[in-house]
Structure 1
Amino acid sequence: MAKVKFISDFDDGENKKTKTEKKESVFNLFLRLSAGAKIFVLSAFSLLLLAILTFAFISYSDTFKNPDNARPLSEEQLLEFNSTLDTLYPSQRKSILKELPYSVTKANLDVWAGAAILIDASNGCVLFEKNADEIIPPASIAKLFVMYIVFKDAAEGKISLDDVVPLPERSWAINMPKDASLMFLGQGQVVTLRELLKGLAVASGNDAAIAVADYISGSTKAFVQRMNEECAALGLTHTHFVEPSGYDEHNLTTARELAAFCCEYIKRFPQSVEEFHSAPSIKYPMEKNLPSWLKSKGDSTAIYQRNTNPLLGVMEGCDGIKTGFIYESRYNLALTAKRNGVRYISVTMMGTGVGSKQGNAGRVHDGTEMMEWAFQSFADFDPKAELPEYYAIPALGSKNTNGKFVKLVPAWKNAVTVPHISGSTALDDAKSVKAVVNMPRFIYGGVKMGETYGQIQYKLGDTVLETVPLVADRTYEKAGIFGRMIGALVSWRF
């Protein structure tokens, strides 16, 4: 074995010697070259090295041309980004109602009600108003707040709309005021929360409001406190409740705040319109609802009631939402209609008329006056349907860039209310809106989250409807001098 090991060591030594001699021979060969040959070899080597470096540089810089390298934000980063935008643009992102982003001639509408407002439901833009901040009792429109709380709790899994609701004695129809709107609840009836909601939406049952309040919060007092807390959370500073049905004149709100609430209500719970507020009528109690001692009567005791909304089934696209009347606020109506994907909401309070016939005539007149004008004068352009969610921009001269890109995101993505200017209809004008995007080819030397680096202009012909900033969705620190030099070199390729 020792002999074998000796031979192996000897061979290794010979191999090393041979390699060294080869290197020396190549070097000696180069030294023996003529001056011209030496220059040629050095030039060729330099060109080869330059080609390798150029290829490496092009390959590296090409990574800044592939937007797929833009990495998504983490959940924590996304929360921080949205919080930053909410702070920078509170009126566009957090306020439910807002002014139109362009100037228009004030509409001269023939509205009979003492207070009124008309809004675009897609973005909360106010199109028309009259005494919209006057404080007035909402009457039975208060029941929308009851339904809002039910839908909210159901969405959070706290309750189910198919729950059977016990009926406290004070919710029975026989114990309600004589002039109260009723669903006609009674002793021993079996009724689900879903049926009570229909009783609220269609028949405006004060008895249903009491039953729901007790079921959700254990008492009317606790439920009213919940109603006021929800109002505060929505920023409704002039809206206050003392009971859930709207019967009491000490419940207070304004047309503006009711419109803001209705906008949020429909946006969060569109099923409220689809299943409840658009229902043309209700029959209650049916046989299934009756106590055991009345089952033999079948459906014969059911009382048929039409939806209290006088424009439902009359106005094209009308699918809600709620009426209200007490003597202190007269005839109120929260109205909504949708045509060709565009929805408007109007609220009228202190409506004119003596008796329900005249009161409903006023509701129909005012609702028609505002809604028809809105559909003729405006339509919506939806940026989310037409434009990309973000624009990936190379972040050059920055460090720790991960995916090498920053995303420029519109600061808000609300629909744009488009005025009827030149097309044959408002919808034609909405289809003619162009989005003009202005942004840099790259951002150099660091990026700051929320900083504006471009903009989108929504234009109808030469008219600028709205300008939305394009903001960075993340922060990158400025690179060191070497990183900035590389970034400057890469910028030549853009």
Structure 2
Amino acid sequence: MNMYRKILIFPLFILFLLPLRALETVPELVAESAVLYDFATGRVLFEKNGEISIPPASMTKLVTLYLGWQYLENGGSPDEPVEITATGSSFSRPVGSSLMLLEEGQKVSFLEVMTGLAVASGNDAAYALAEHISGSPEAFVDQMNSLVESLGYKTMHFVDPDGWSAENRVTALEYAEFSSDYIRAFPSALQTVHSLRTLVYPKAENLPETGGRIITPREKNNTNILLDRVEGVDGLKTGYIDESGFNFTATAKRGITRFIAVVMGIRNVPYFDGIEIRADEAEALLEYGFRNFKTIDPETPLLEPVFLWEGKSDEVPLILEGDPLFTLSVDEMTSFSREIDVPAELTAPVRAGDIVGKVRYRTGDRVLAEFPVLAQIDVEKANIFKVLWHRTLKLYRRITNP
């Protein structure tokens, strides 16, 4: 089969209006472990001790939220009532817990509990949700571990739904990837709960009919203090216990570029200093990403129809499978290129979806990805007269052009 190669080179630093400059040095971080992760491609743009196992603390609740959204996808209703028992009551959580302020007998919806989990980081909300979904916290934890195992994570392991225990384990690398899985599976969650600045609870409609100890509405600020501070931030989760130190996972999107920054293990600092330091370091990673990298969506290449021997049609249209997305540094964009490898001709029959070629994307000599080129339609073999005629032409071509 004769093949031709078409090479197109894009000067992307011009096409995407990024100035040429050297890659900046990553800021020095106090965090023991940190990762900057690209959402579009899964590329790790920065890593510091990313494979160290550290307790996630309240970042555990992102796994709890994942199972909550999954429950809704499987037929649950955001408006369905969640019974608050002693298990989910704020009075059952240890001293020092972050709380939504749930109390036995309150009337609260499933989505309200999810919001209390995401915004106020309520340990009580985690237990109430676990009991509602699985019948008990223990059964829910089994679901958490089954989930992360099914997603391919080797280090992630949980013993409770709220992250209070130091026996919960993650790595920054795995948590960054899980955060990406979470956003991809439930993109609306970012606006529905994670971007909310405050939670006011309990409201009058939440109070038990017979009264309760918690009757005054309290406004809880989102633990993610980057929401109003950094352009594009719309999630994700913070965490702190003594054993882990201060942890923070933040995500931000500008245009089509989204990054996930994870910092873990900021220890031996005063409490309120730790809250600021983890936010500062997550912000520093995000800004480093946006200054030095950009996600690009190259224009779909024009694929000319291929000549078809012995077919009812004399050509077959082609289509590229997949949606190429790349996150590149400014230096990589200067040598970004695309190669199109397709046959000069095919022989019928051809089926829609048959792989007939490929498009390869490179930066310099490094291959970034290959995408298959497919036949777009079925083309059956022609009648015997056309088949014989085409075979005669092919024989003549071989004789005259050996």
Shorter-chain TM-score: which interval?
0.7 to 0.9
Distance 2:218 2:31 in 1: 32
Paired amino acid for 1:413: D
Match status 1:221 vs 2:123: no
How far residue 434 of structure 1 moved from its aligned partner, in angstroms, is 6.5
Looking at structure 2, the residues matched to 415 and 364 of structure 1 have their Cα atoms a distance apart, in angstroms, of 29
Query: Is contact 2:316–2:375 with CA below 8 Å preserved after alignment?
Result: no
Q: Which of 320, 329, 337 is the equivalent residue of 1:409?
A: 320
Give yes or no for contact 2:248–2:279 (8 Å, CA) kept in 1. no
Could you say which structure has the larger radius of gyration?
A: 1
**Alignment of structure 1 residues 344-493 onto 2, 5 Å:** 344-383=259-298, 386-387=299-300, 393-396=306-309, 405=316, 407=318, 409-410=320-321, 412-421=322-331, 435-444=338-347, 453-457=357-361, 466-472=368-374, 483=387, 486=390, 489=393
Partner of 2:241: 326
| Aligned pairs, number | 372
Q: 1:212 aligns with which of 129, 132, 151?
A: 129
Q: Verify: 1:189 aligned to 2:106, yes or no.
A: yes
Task: Check 1:129–1:288 CA distance in 2 against 1; reply closer, same or farther (3 A cut).
Answer: same
Match of 2:48 in 1: 130
2:320, 2:374 within 8 Å by CA — same for their partners in 1?
yes
SS in structure 2 at match of 1:466: strand
1:235 to 144, 152, 157: 152
Amino acid at match of 2:111: R
Larger relative contact order (CA 8 Å, sep ≥ 6):
2
Question: Is residue 308 from structure 1 mapped to residue 253 from structure 2 by the alignment?
Answer: no
Q: CA deviation at 1:381?
A: 1.1
Question: In the superposition, relative to structure 1, how do residues 407 and 177 fare at CA in structure 2: closer, same or farther (>3 Å)?
Answer: same
Answer whether contact 1:196 1:208 (CA < 8 A) is retained. yes
Amino acid at match of 1:312: L
Q: Which amino acid in the other structure matches residue 123 of structure 1?
A: T
Q: 1:484 to 1:393 in 2, by over 3 A?
A: farther
RMSD of Structure 2 on Structure 1 (CA): 3.5
The answer for unaligned runs of 5 or more in structure 2 is 1-21, 398-402
TM-score by length of 1: 0.67
Q: Distance in 2 between matches of 1:403 and 1:350?
A: 65
Shift of 1:405: 3.5
One-letter amino acid of the counterpart of residue 132, structure 1 = G
Q: 1:490: how far off?
A: 8.2
What is the one-letter code of the residue matched to 1:409? L
> Is it true that 1:261 corresponds to 2:163 in the alignment?
no
Alignment partner for residue 58 of structure 2, among 140, 143, 161?
A: 140
TM-score, structure 2 length as denominator? 0.81
Contact 2:342/2:356 (<8 A) preserved:
no
Gaps of 5+ in 1: 1-103, 423-428
Structure holding more helix per residue: 1
SS at 1:304's partner residue?
strand
Identify the residue that residue 117 of structure 1 maps to in structure 2.
Answer: 35
Q: 1:392 Cα shift? A: 5.3
Partner Cα separation in structure 2 for residue 413 and residue 177 of structure 1: 48
Deviation at 1:441, TM superposition (A): 3.1
Give the secondary-structure state (helix, strand or coil) at the position aligned to 1:346: strand
Greater fraction of residues in strand: 2
